[in-house]
Chains A and B, each alone.
Chain A
Amino acid sequence: MQQKSADLELVKLTKRYGDVTAVHAIDLRVAAGSYCCLLGPSGCGKTSTLRMIAGHELASDGDVLLGGRNITLLPAAERGTAMMFQSYALFPHLSVLDNVAFSLKMRGIGKAERHKRAHDLLERVAMTPYAQRKPSELSGGQQQRVALARALITEPSVLLLDEPLSALDPFLRIRMRAELKRWQHDLGFTFIHVTHSQEEAMALSDQVVVMNQGLIEQVASPHDLFNAPASEFVAKFLGGHNVIRLGDAKIALRADKVRLSRDASGDNTMAGDVLGVEYQGTYVLVTMNLPQQDDFSVMLPEADFFRAPCSPGERMFAQWNSSDVHRLAS
């Protein structure tokens, strides 16, 4: 099944529930064949956005364009999108094979033909031996593969994934995450993935869309996002950043770019008391109390910390290079 991927474009897309606006006229362009994560805290509008793209939620305003075709008002099955649901929503009463063949059955395709095509897809996701099992007899990772096969049989050009890894335990989550990325690469079509985990978004995305309160805060590659967060919200949500007030301006400073010493030297120095020391394996996390600042944390490589260890209550100087300062838009 060689499916042409297509650019997805959202134009002033808006979702209102009564008086509450969940999504505020957002514009977004997702290039064909890319992996895009919608990232944000719960209630930020990322799921509403995904469901409007999928056609499970009607847009209050604005348009959804896929490959230049306006799909805003089309039924879910006619959009060229397919959805992988949270917890997968595999039909519990049907075998794996019948789950995958479901959409063909709905289209009235004969049993032999639809089973053949379902078998082909199960082979692709390495699930052939499980074709006759019920979903409840599969592990979380196997269910994800079946959900993928079931979505692929509709030959979509965009796959929409609603927190697909949240049902898995942490160990499996990392494995299935890698599998998602590999599939996207092999299939070559667009994946749009909703998540509240910045780690997941970083690991998977070509393009991360950070959302907050119904608005897009920033669209960037994971590298640009981490090195140049556009706002205080983005810096704080991603973690690993300190937001420091310097006069009227706010700057973001990566916690791993800060050094600690016992004496003041250089321009970029602030003194503070050590609040806590947490050993994290490859690095040591030191939290500090700097005057007139929010929480301040420093990630020191393990070796650097133990060359000159400090303990809570000690007064230390935090230092950094001017080149590591990232000025935030206010």
Chain B
Amino acid sequence: MQAGMSDRRAPGFWPLAIVFALFVVFMYGPMFTIFVLSFQGPEGGLTFPMRGVSLHWFHKLAEGLGTVDIGAAFRRSLMLGAVVMAFTVVLSVLAGLAFRKRLKGGDALFYIAVASLIMPSIIVSLGIGLQFRLLDTGIKSALTAMGAEGTLENYGTALGLLTSALGAHLTWTLPFGLLIMFAVFNRFNPAYEEAARDLGATPWQSFRHVVLPLIGPSVIGIGMFGFTLSWDEIARTSQAIGDVNTLPLELQGLTSTVTTPSIYALGTVTTIVSFAVMGVALGSAALLGRRASKRRGG
């Protein structure tokens, strides 16, 4: 809104409003459609019209979709997301701190980290898969050489959720986390740390009592970013996951085999998890704020 000039709208208002409306429709329309169709009646199909409203397809989902164990995939994705989140937060904050000093080779390190955003995901994924297969070969020949036949028999592959898939996800989340930390520390006034030092704080105390509380909201943001990027990642996971599947991979597989609105019900449930993560993050931030203001009041 312009202040005072005129009550008439600028000539660009309606064209821009239409562009914005289209943006909103493209952004949220598909999600909303899936959401609505997941409540399709038992007689209904994959498309409109709705034949009644029910939770039928959620029940079907709970019973399992064919041979696929959705519950297990769900738990795997949840765990992977949580581990990725933890690693992303810790490593990004530490790297952000390191880059504040004159870091020898810092520029090269930065470009190497960010290059992984530019590289096509599927290539990264294939590469990780191949690397781990090489590792498998190495381990197997080592086991043979040592004559550990029993171990060799049980050995499948080094590929897995918390090995290759974790690494693949971190190639995706760490550059984001690092860039956010750069933005945060660019605006961070070093006088706060000097003041802390002047008042007798050790470097650790200065970090714990001054730096961390001030960058806290951004750190929560990095955690959210890390989780949600991991939660719906497909391309980087596809070749690097090994024997088991994450939820998005199962979902992708199901789109070609399941022909009932159960697939929509699954979409609804995963979307709700994403929102729940954000809700928890925002809620805990608000709670921290309330606790702080309560302390002030008391």
Which residues from A are CB-within-8-Å of B192?
Answer: 89, 91
Contact of B198 among A83, A86, A87 (CB under 8 A): A83
Contact (Cβ within 8 A) B213 A76 = no
Contact (Cβ within 8 A) A85 B194 = yes
Does any Cβ of A come within 8 Å of B195's Cβ?
yes
Contact (Cβ within 8 A) B191 A91 = no
Contact (Cβ within 8 A) A95 B296 = yes
Which stretch in B18-26, B147-155, B160-168, B199-207 binds the other chain? B199-207
Does any Cβ of A come within 8 Å of B197's Cβ?
yes
B218 CB, min distance to chain A CBs, angstroms? 13
Using known A-B contacts A85-B195, A86-B191, determine if residue A93 contacts B200 with beta carbons closer than 8 Å: no
Contact (Cβ within 8 A) B189 A89 = yes
Interface size class on chain A is: 20 to 34
Using known A-B contacts A89-B189, A95-B296, determine if residue A105 contacts B209 with beta carbons closer than 8 Å: yes
Does any Cβ of A come within 8 Å of B210's Cβ?
yes
Contact (Cβ within 8 A) B213 A93 = yes
Contact of B194 among A56, A150, A151 (CB under 8 A): A56
Main SS of the interface on chain A?
A: loop
Q: Tell me the bound Cα distance from A134 to B293 in angstroms.
A: 10
Q: Which chain B residue shows the least CB distance to A75?
A: B197
Q: Which of A63-99 contact B (CB under 8 A)?
A: 75-77, 82-83, 85-87, 89-93, 95
Which residues from B are CB-within-8-Å of A92?
Answer: 214
Query: Could you tell me how many residues of chain B have their Cβ less than 8 Å away from some Cβ of chain A?
Result: 21
Which residues from B are CB-within-8-Å of A91?
Answer: 192, 195-196, 210, 214
Does any Cβ of A come within 8 Å of B15's Cβ?
no
Contact (Cβ within 8 A) B191 A85 = yes
Contact (Cβ within 8 A) A106 B205 = yes
Q: Which chain A residue shows the least CB distance to B214?
A: A93
Render B268-292 as a binary contact track against A, CB cut-off 8 A, 1 for contact: 0000000000000000000000001
Which residues from B are CB-within-8-Å of A87?
Answer: 191
Q: Tell me the bound Cα distance from A91 to B205 in angstroms.
A: 14
Render A106-142 as a binary contact track against B, CB cut-off 8 A, 1 for contact: 1100000000000000000000000011100000000
Using known A-B contacts A85-B191, A89-B189, A89-B194, determine if residue A150 contacts B296 with beta carbons closer than 8 Å: no
Which residues from B are CB-within-8-Å of A154?
Answer: 198-200
Residues of B within 8 A of A (CB): 189, 191-192, 194-202, 205, 209-210, 213-214, 292, 295-297
Can you give 10 contacting A-B residue pairs, CB < 8 Å?
A75-B197, A76-B194, A77-B198, A77-B199, A89-B192, A89-B195, A91-B210, A93-B292, A102-B201, A106-B199
Residues of A within 8 A of B (CB): 54-56, 75-77, 82-83, 85-87, 89-93, 95, 102-103, 105-107, 132-134, 150-151, 154
